[in-house]
Amino acid sequence: MNLTIQISLDSTWHDAATLIIPNPELGHQGPMQLGYDMPSALDRI
């Protein structure tokens, strides 16, 4: 399962990161990976 995390800036939504949950059936005991969209994140700081 991949989830896109967005931020709102000036009333426009922008992709900021992706949360990857490879085994969602494991719940909170399963692994996850969070990766930032660095060019977008740095432009917005």
Q: Strand 33-36 to strand 12-20: parallel, antiparallel, or no bridges (unpaired)?
A: antiparallel
DSSP state of 30: S
Neighbours of 40 (CB within 10 A): 15
pTM listed for this prediction: 0.72
| Angstrom distance (rounded) from CA 25 to CA 30 | 8
What are the pLDDT digits (tens) for 4-26? 999 888 898 988 899 999 999 99
Q: Is the pLDDT of residue 40 over 80?
A: no
